[in-house]
Amino acid sequence: MEDYPRNLKEFDVRFRSEEACREYLSQLRWPDGFRCPRCGCQESSPVRTVLLRCRDCRHQTSVTAGTIFQDTRTSLRLWFQAMWWVTTQKNGASALGLQRVLGLKSYETAWTWLHKLRRAMVRPGRDLLSGRVEVDECYVGGLEEGLPGRLNLEKALVVVAAQEDGPGIGRIRMRQIVDASAQSLVPFVQDSVEPGSIIHTDGWLGYLPLEKKGYEHEIAFLRGKIKTPSESMPRVHRVISLLKRWLMGTHQGAVSHKHLDYYLDEFTFRFNRRRSKSRGKLFFRLVQQAVAVEPVPLDRILHPQAKVKSKPQSVGVW
């Protein structure tokens, strides 16, 4: 079922032509065969090279229509190379790196491509975390995009959930939030964790309503000896420190608040698949999701409708 190249050599052989790339997209988009997006008919005939015409309603479509590749003026091969590169970089991909590797003329193009791909890194309708989950917030950032080294004192508040997996970390979720109020924290937990799970937090008031929302709430009491947050909730704090290192390392802190959510998606995508034996499998997932998400107009990439409506306020959380 999961058909993907194992290494660069296989990748090169497999995706040598536009046709091969289109065929692969087609397999992932219509695993049970073509289906007309308008009437559901499963019969089509090819029109020129890229179009398919529905037998019943005559609607013309293509495998890239309605996906992030829609209206692309670049070859699919180049997109495939971008996706391969993005998923095989252990620590993630910067726009500058992508520009260099693909020999793209402009940095802006590389930047836009990466943002389009990040939109495909969150699986629509993905599974919720369950079991025991540690949740905490942290501040990230401080540098403004495009101005390396220039200090921006505003930091963004991010809430992180890390599922326990024995002594290790299972899957994670994260989101930028306006403040650490219950109105910000509780909906995040509800969107990320199955009801009935055990949520482990510090004693912050914002988490108190969780109990009423159907979660078992465990507060890290600092009983007897004084424990630091990283001792009482080691998993979520490990994730937070990796996230900070990743933002400062791969992206050199050059992430603005309005785009932060998508970087969080990329981090989560990579983290949740960090044990994948084959990098090719990440590539497969990314392509699979890229044909499942709607295209995003450039304007919305440049000016995302902020999920965070106002400036993060200073609230006393660790």
In the complex, the smallest distance separating the C-beta of residue 23 from Zn ion, rounded to whole angstroms, is: 21
Examine residue 8 and tell whether it contacts Zn ion (CB under 5 A). no
Contacts of 269-272 with CB under 8 Å at 24 or more apart are 269/121, 269/122, 270/92, 271/171, 271/172, 271/239, 271/242, 272/171, 272/172
Selected range binding Zn ion among 54-62, 84-92, 200-208, 236-244, rule: CB under 5 A: 54-62
Examine residue 41 and tell whether it contacts Zn ion (CB under 5 A). yes
Report how far residue 117's alpha carbon sits from residue 226's, in angstroms, rounded to the nearest whole number: 44
- Contacting Zn ion (CB under 5 A), which of 8, 13, 39, 151? 39
For residues 252-284, one letter each, b for 16 or more C-beta atoms within 10 angstroms of the residue's C-beta and e for the rest, the string is: ebbbbbbbbbbbbbbbbbbbbbeeeeebbebbb
Closest to Zn ion by CB, 46 or 103: 46
In the complex, the smallest distance separating the C-beta of residue 36 from Zn ion, rounded to whole angstroms, is: 3
- Contacting Zn ion (CB under 5 A), which of 38, 100, 274, 311? 38
- Contacting Zn ion (CB under 5 A), which of 21, 25, 28, 36? 36
In the complex, the smallest distance separating the C-beta of residue 60 from Zn ion, rounded to whole angstroms, is: 9
Examine residue 47 and tell whether it contacts Zn ion (CB under 5 A). no
- Contacting Zn ion (CB under 5 A), which of 14, 22, 35, 59? 59
Examine residue 245 and tell whether it contacts Zn ion (CB under 5 A). no
Instruction: Return phi, psi of residue 103, to 5°.
Output: 65, 35
Selected range binding Zn ion among 51-59, 68-76, 248-256, 272-280, rule: CB under 5 A: 51-59
